[in-house]
Amino acid sequence: MLYLIGLGLGDAKDITVKGLEVVRRCSRVYLEAYTSILTVGKEALEEFYGRKLILADREEVEQEADNILKGADVSDVAFLVVGDPFGATTHSDLILRATSLGIPYRVIHNASILNAVGCCGLQLYKFGETVSIVFWTDTWRPESFFDKVKKNRQNGMHTLCLLDIKVKEQSLENLIRKRRGTVLSRLERQHPVSCSFPRDDGSGHGAGVPEELNLLLH
């Protein structure tokens, strides 16, 4: 059996009782380590769970998922996800692959940013499409999220912006040369910082949002 287990948003103790019971009996336990982060590290989780965890980075989950699923048809394997397992499409792909291999699965849900954002006082049913904002580079500056924010504003809806993190990235040189190898990048400092994204759609009137979209990053 493949178990996808949500860890919630805080620390080691945010896992559900059901999830913890499963973790302690599985033959292998993977910790997804690239779509989000907790406030504690792998060692703190291992101490509380009483289990060794196997870190699963983007390359392993997206390109070598068969390694994770190996043996899950005859033993229990857990895949731990910060927040809720269905917070990223990658995890849905893992379930689809398991299904194609005849491996049964079970999902143990937990809190995610999609519902925890209600703590800011805004009503959840008034949120429109969620957008992702990635780190810009010198040659790649995607702006598609502006259009989604504009659409939500026109519909009188709030917008939840998911901010990118850097945990383990391939270098540009390795991508060009199609070589394996990554550069470990430190996470951004954990304090609020106001960022502005100027946008001009060519009409001289902006994109229907303020000339600068001010975001508060944490």
Encode pLDDT of 55-71 as tens digits: 998 888 888 889 999 99
Of 112, 147, 166, the domain-final residue = 112
Angstrom distances, CA of residue 104 to CA of 1, 25, 71, 94, 183: 5, 17, 12, 12, 36
In a domain, 171, yes or no: yes
| Same domain (yes/no): 183, 97 | no
Contacts of 81 (CB under 8 A, 6+ apart): 4, 5, 6, 7, 32, 35, 36, 87, 88, 91
Task: Return the half-sphere exposure (C-beta side, CA atoms, 13 A cut-off) of residue 25.
Answer: 11
What pLDDT band is residue 165 in, cutting at 50, 70 and 90?
confident
Give the Cα separation of 215 and 112 in Å (integer): 20
In a domain, 117, yes or no: no
User: What confidence score (pLDDT) does residue 62 get?
Assistant: 80
Model confidence at 203: pLDDT above 80: no
The pTM (predicted TM-score) of the whole model is 0.76
Across 13-17, 153-157, 172-176, least confident range: 172-176
- Average pLDDT value over all residues in the chain: 81
In a domain, 169, yes or no: yes
| Same domain (yes/no): 84, 133 | no
In a domain, 54, yes or no: yes
User: What confidence score (pLDDT) does residue 57 get?
Assistant: 86
Three-class DSSP category at 83 = strand
Count the Cβ atoms, other than its own, within 10 Å of residue 180: 8
| Same domain (yes/no): 13, 80 | yes
| Same domain (yes/no): 149, 91 | no
What's the pLDDT tens digit per position in 32-47? 977 788 889 999 999 9
Of 84, 112, 140, the domain-final residue = 112
Of 69, 84, 112, the domain-final residue = 112
Domain span at residue 99 reads: 2-112
Q: Which residue has the higher pLDDT, 195 or 17?
A: 17
What's the pLDDT tens digit per position in 125-146? 999 999 988 888 888 888 888 9
What pLDDT band is residue 99 in, cutting at 50, 70 and 90?
very high
Percent above pLDDT 70 for the chain: 76
| Same domain (yes/no): 177, 79 | no
